[in-house]
Structure 1
């Protein structure tokens, strides 16, 4: 696929930081680091696109008339902070102003932002997740006796490992109660307690206009010197330990019924275009951790590496993504 950069304009919306400050309650951990922004702009440029970077939905709205005249395509890495609806702002702005964009619409974004809601949604399409309970701010914490330890305790609707350090792994209820209190004091947010899933960390990645035609590939995440199968992919492991990671293609090893369920789930969203279905391969099969339409699109991340396993190199990945704009 070739693209004429003189007539192909991509507007990239991203709030940026030079480098992440990997602290427990830092709400900018989902912002785009300078190295990531450079890699994305480089990939789009190599794919033949002219790129404009804007830093907010407000800037996007202000530039909408010029973008409409050029029939520009919008793609968002924008995170925002605090509000659970923040991932809806860019797609809603695009739809309200008639801009074409790539990625999840507002409905898809809000379903996936809430990790408990996402599990219920995935269950309807044949993908199971761990048992859990939600603790709302200001409500007394009452352990659900149906849950079996150990647990993972995390914010209900954050990303980027905000609020998830190694303390999120809780051997029992005493530790879980302590971590709930810590999160609610630091972030004033609903908290999700889930049964810990032991097993390989797997991302099933899809890209396309619908479930039937989407390109699908799965990778297993391995972290050098860290037993991820018995631990958690926390802020420290991601941001501060900087251990080498490897994304190993494993599509061929997965149950075809699971892959069909992933396609059905992907197809059920009216507009999503690309996403990761993240989970673990337990002794009972694949179990969902989260649905991730706001995937990391860097060249060494799991999504790009999964597409590379299908022969889709980084510039071609961008050409395909931009072709999905509506």
Structure 2
């Protein structure tokens, strides 16, 4: 027997942060798409708005949700709350989809994640954290300046790619002043960019996707900025075309899949994650980021890779739900145990 009531959790405050309006609109659309996919499979799926961290457990229990499909990416304007919400959901007694709180918290801090991966022999770009504007300190230009603790490409634009000290100082100061956090500055790799979707309770890699920058106007940096990810009317969005499966020799694709799988497992991810990889001028791959709980909208890269793998969107959403339900059973919930025995 399967679970019946599935709550699709999301940030009910949808607080406007700098540059996040488009992302918020996308999140609401994803909530409804996930609920529709579950209803098409016979589940009683409903919106489960989360407004305050202190009320998460009570909200879940009052809803009667047996599984919470976790789409909460922030709360009350703070992306740091994503891990805290996941932890409260895990304590609610319901099954919870997606990565655990520990993995979410780790991956949100790019410095800690890079240090972990590097310590285990996985390649990451050379870089360091800047708490204040300053010189490159041995890093080689061009550099990319990113927020230390944000995801969804927040804060990434053309000005994030810097080629001299003055531009570096300006961008680090902008990150600090706009987002109230340090910047992580890395050597910008001017090769190809790949995404590898990772799925399952013990993560395995789906087909590799590549970002095709061939139509990017001359002079614009070839990378996935905030505009490229969230603003369909922008030239950046139209010029970052995902291709899945990537046009790669089988041995190269398998190497990327193994690299991504190892990174996701080291970070503690499960169910759904995405590993972003970029090559240097010599074609050597480096891990840019490990993204727990990536965008699960029907037209996003994760769902696209799942379709190439042979799963429909409804298949993917149901699998995520049932993986969470089975974890609840293994944790010793007698109701879920009886249900799964049928």
Superposed pair shares fold, TM > 0.5: yes
The DSSP-based 3-state class of the residue aligned with 1:309 is helix
The 5 Å alignment of 1:1-326 reads: 7-15=3-11, 25-27=18-20, 30-33=23-26, 34-56=28-50, 58=52, 60-67=56-63, 71-80=66-75, 83=78, 85-136=80-131, 139=132, 141-211=133-203, 214-222=204-212, 225-226=215-216, 230-238=221-229, 239=231, 240-241=233-234, 242-243=237-238, 245-250=241-246, 252=250, 254=252, 256-270=254-268, 272-282=270-280, 283-325=282-324, 326=327
CA deviations on 1:97-150 (whole Å, 9 max, x unpaired) are 3221011111101110011222222224443111111012xx4x3324321000
In the alignment, the residues of structure 2 paired with residue 225 and residue 258 of structure 1 have an alpha-carbon distance, to the nearest angstrom, of 24
What is the RMSD computed on CA atoms of the aligned residues? 2.9
- Per the TM alignment, residue 178 of structure 1 is displaced from its structure 2 partner at its CA by 0.8
CA deviations on 1:61-111 (whole Å, 9 max, x unpaired) are 2323245x5523342233225646312122211222322101111110111
Q: TM-score, normalised by structure 1?
A: 0.84
Greater share of helix: 2
Stretches of structure 2 that go unaligned for 5 or more consecutive residues are 328-342
Q: TM-score, normalised by structure 2?
A: 0.81
In the alignment, the residues of structure 1 paired with residue 211 and residue 217 of structure 2 have an alpha-carbon distance, to the nearest angstrom, of 11
Aligned length: 313
CA 1:135/1:289 → structure 2, altered by over 3 Å: closer, same or farther? same
Moved over 6 A (4+): none
- Conservation of the 8 A alpha-carbon contact between 2:135 and 2:168: no
- Conservation of the 8 A alpha-carbon contact between 2:200 and 2:272: yes
CA 1:108/1:231 → structure 2, altered by over 3 Å: closer, same or farther? same
In the alignment, the residues of structure 2 paired with residue 222 and residue 77 of structure 1 have an alpha-carbon distance, to the nearest angstrom, of 29
Stretches of structure 1 that go unaligned for 5 or more consecutive residues are none
- Conservation of the 8 A alpha-carbon contact between 1:47 and 1:315: yes
- Per the TM alignment, residue 30 of structure 1 is displaced from its structure 2 partner at its CA by 4.6
